[in-house]
Amino acid sequence: MTQPTPIADVPQTCAWAQGDPLMQAYHDREWGVPVRDSRLLWEMLILEGFQAGLSWRTILHRRDGFRRAFDDFDPTLVAAYGPDKVEALMQDGGIIRARAKIEATIGNARAFLRMVAAGEDFADFIWGHVNGQPLVSDGTTVPASTPISLALSKALKAKGFKFVGAVTVYAFMQAVGMANDHARDCPQRAICMESQCRG
């Protein structure tokens, strides 16, 4: 007769993703999977900026609303937003209605386009800070920020980006697979290390 596997030996997903189906799906399909697409990287950076002072759960449950409100995060369209659009967004219950973050998103779209106009690839710029390869933690300790996230934060600010502090940037790095911080016993830890890009 087969003996049941002790609970302690059963791989467990990262604790932060448990208890919410949407968070679990995000954890299993997206978090930590390397993203190499410049537009998607920009979208994730914007969403992490909106998270500042809030929880990722709050942002994730509004992500569809954000995508609708911000034209699927098309930097060219967002960069053209004017005062009327800002006021409309301030009335949109599907997003986080923080004026400073909305205005920063528009400015960040313009910063993104300036890089494109200068022939600078956003994905190469972002991934260059980790030499193009994900950083893999020990799976036990998760920092709020690192010297690399601080350096990337400073580099983004120098390009004109806002709401990109070192803590926000590290959360972004985790989300887009630049840093693999899945728990040691989480099945996604190894999967992300072997996975193809999701964008």
User: How many Cα atoms are found within 13 Å in the side-chain-facing hemisphere of 11?
Assistant: 11
187 C-beta neighbours (distance < 10 Å), count:
14
Per-residue pLDDT of the chain (199 residues; tens, 9 = 90+): 333 333 344 457 899 999 999 999 999 999 999 999 999 999 999 999 999 999 999 999 999 999 999 999 999 999 999 999 999 999 999 999 999 999 999 999 999 999 999 999 999 999 999 999 999 988 888 999 999 999 999 999 999 999 999 999 999 999 999 999 999 999 999 888 876 556 5
Active-site residue 48, yes or no?
Answer: yes
**Going by C-beta distance under 8 Å and a sequence separation of 6 or more, which residues neighbour residue 103?**
86
Annotated catalytic residue within 42, 56, 81, 127? 56
Could you give the domains of the chain?
A: 14-194 (1.10.340.30)
Q: 65 and 94 in contact (C-beta within 8 Å)?
A: yes
Annotated catalytic residue within 31, 43, 48, 81? 48
Active-site residue 16, yes or no?
Answer: no
